[in-house]
Amino acid sequence: MNQATTAPLQGRNTVGAEAQPEALALDAVFAERPKGPLTVTDNFAVLDDPVEQTEFTQFADIDGKRMAQSVLMVQGMYCAACADTVEGALCNLPGVVKAEVHAATRRLTVQWDPAVTRASTLAQAVGQTGYRLLPMHEALSITQRIAESRKVLWRLFVAGICMMQVMMYAWPAYITEPGDIPPDIEHLLRWASWVLSVPVLLFASGSFFGGAWRDLKQGRVGMDTPVSIGIVVTFVASSLATFDPTGPWGHEVWYDSLTMFVFFLMGGRYLEFKARDRTAGALDNLMNRLPEVCDRRKPDGSFEPVSVRRLVVGDVVRVQAGQAFPGDGTLTATGATVDEALLTGESHPVLRAVGETVVAGSYNLAGPVELRVDRLGRDTRFAQIVSLMERASTEKPRLAVLADRIAGPFLSLVLLAALAAGVYWWQIDHTRALADRDMPLCTVVGHTGGDAGIGRRTCPAGGAGETVAGL
């Protein structure tokens, strides 16, 4: 420590030189304590930091044994089958007592034994299944949510534009009789539809293929698996019919059905994401009331910026005007005008004098004030409010738990039934394994209202009376 730093300490202490070793020790402690927020990397070692764990883990003695319960966010999951995959990866680990994932909010509640396993081990096990565990204060960041929303919106935009163009090229097949369109024009329209379907396959459907591949690597069947199979089979069959209309696969193409299918799925996923984003945003706004960084007083009386998660009880911090108090504490220097609407619901500010307490999450509306921290993290009233919201977003009713359990087996049965139907029709007439010329089953695409939509030529780009039986 330099002379400029030691001089104020000596001036304030009557002991003189005897106080220098203590001051040096204090400065060493402050120098060794991290000042910035830690981030989660691929090795997840930061999750084992005791200071970081205070944000997402609670410890309690259960039957004389110290247990931990963590609430984390699961990135990359979209359905109940994904939740079952994460739960299965954790429940098989030693030291894990219970793991529950809420598919709608993507929140994981896991109870584990810190004497047997570590939080980073849990995150690595989930990472091997293709998902990622993050604390909610990092997973709910506004920047990340905006980036994810833009990606989903771009996929929806590409699928929508291509769908409209493909539908325009397929429309003549709806309103004409067989033979009205010259063969060269019909072939040109099919090639144009094929070109526009490629971006839908490679870009707009990327999230479905990624999820299906991740599930297959783990030997599981998720919601993305049947969707991906349907997209690939439809595109391949339509491409073969485009390249060789007289071949064994027939001459029907379903590019419009393919692009429309992807568009509607991406539209539903986008609406689901926005609804989830609003829920996450409400919790995010509450959690982000606390500042990321505040000014902590050093032993020499000066202030240094540090991460709020690096504060300890007894620290004196300076809270600027318009900033939230980082913890429950006592005002030490001056009074403050405080907005406590978080607790009372009353928007009218209250005056707090020196020596009175303020609560974490309330705003300082006047000038800078100094606060001695009495409670931090899970011990504050603010943390208790957040904990209640977290519990409400992670607990699932028994009916939802049952639905999550049967989601995977149900999807497997659906795929097996579709495979059995395809094999059966292939043995009878391979041209009817994908298309049925007699039964008008493609009413979703061709239905226009009343009985007129259920008749001949209800599927675009097909011949008279030809409909897609497999869609």
Q: So what's the pLDDT on residue 177? A: 82
Q: So what's the pLDDT on residue 160? A: 94
Q: Are 245 and 251 in contact (CB under 8 A)?
A: yes
- Enumerate residues 6+ apart whose C-beta is below 8 A from 400: none
Q: So what's the pLDDT on residue 79? A: 65
**The pair of three-digit structure tokens given for residue 98, joined into one six-digit string:** 């219970």
Domain locations along the chain: 3-32, 45-139, 142-284+397-468, 293-379
Q: So what's the pLDDT on residue 279? A: 66
CA distances from 268 to 149, 154, 264, 282, 386 (A): 13, 14, 6, 21, 29
**The pair of three-digit structure tokens given for residue 412, joined into one six-digit string:** 């497997």
| Backbone dihedral angles phi then psi of residue 97, each to the nearest 5 degrees | -90, -45
Pick the CATH number of 293-379 from 2.70.150.10, 3.40.50.300, 3.90.870.10, 2.170.150.70: 2.70.150.10
Q: So what's the pLDDT on residue 339? A: 85
Q: So what's the pLDDT on residue 457? A: 35
Q: What is the dihedral of CA 402, 408, 414, 416, to 10 degrees?
A: -140
Q: What is the dihedral of CA 118, 120, 126, 129, to 10 degrees?
A: -120
Q: Are 360 and 324 in contact (CB under 8 A)?
A: yes
387 C-beta neighbours (distance < 10 Å), count: 13
Closest CA to 84 of 390, 413, 416, 400: 400
Q: Which residues of 51-64 are buried (b: 16+ CB within 10 A; e: fewer)?
A: bbbbbbbbeeeeee
Q: Are 253 and 197 in contact (CB under 8 A)?
A: no
**The pair of three-digit structure tokens given for residue 33, joined into one six-digit string:** 């304590």
Name residues of the chain where pLDDT drops below 50.
1-41, 437-471
What is d(CA 332, CA 355) in angstroms, rounded to the nearest whole number? 6
What is d(CA 157, CA 148) in angstroms, rounded to the nearest whole number? 14
**The pair of three-digit structure tokens given for residue 141, joined into one six-digit string:** 């960041």
Q: How many CA atoms lie within 13 A of 414 on its CB side?
A: 16
3-state helix/strand/coil string of the chain? CCHHHHHHHHHHCCCHHHHHHHHHHHHHHHHHCCCCCCCCCCCCHHHHCHHHHCCCEEEEEECCEEEEEEEEEEECCCCHHHHHHHHHHHHCCCCEEEEEEECCCCEEEEEECCCCCCHHHHHHHHHCCCCEEECHHHHCCHHHHHHHHHHHHHHHHHHHHHHHHHHHHHHHHHHCCCCCCCHHHHHHHHHHHHHHHHHHHHHHCHHHHHHHHHHHHCCCCCCHHHHHHHHHHHHHHHHHHHHCCCCCCCCCCCHHHHHHHHHHHHHHHHHHHHHHHHHHHHHHHHHCCCCCEEEEECCCCCEEEEEHHHCCCCCEEEECCCCECCCEEEECCCCEEEECHHHHCCCCCEEECCCCEECCCCEECCCCEEEEEEECHHHCHHHHHHHHHHHHHHCCCHHHHHHHHHHHHHHHHHHHHHHHHHHHHHHHCHHHCCEECCCCCCHHHHCCCHHHHCCCCCCCCCCCCCEECCC
| Backbone dihedral angles phi then psi of residue 68, each to the nearest 5 degrees | -120, 145
pTM for the structure as a whole: 0.59
What is d(CA 70, CA 53) in angstroms, rounded to the nearest whole number? 8
Closest CA to 54 of 375, 270, 362: 375
CATH number of this structure's domain 45-139: 3.30.70.100
What is d(CA 183, CA 188) in angstroms, rounded to the nearest whole number? 9
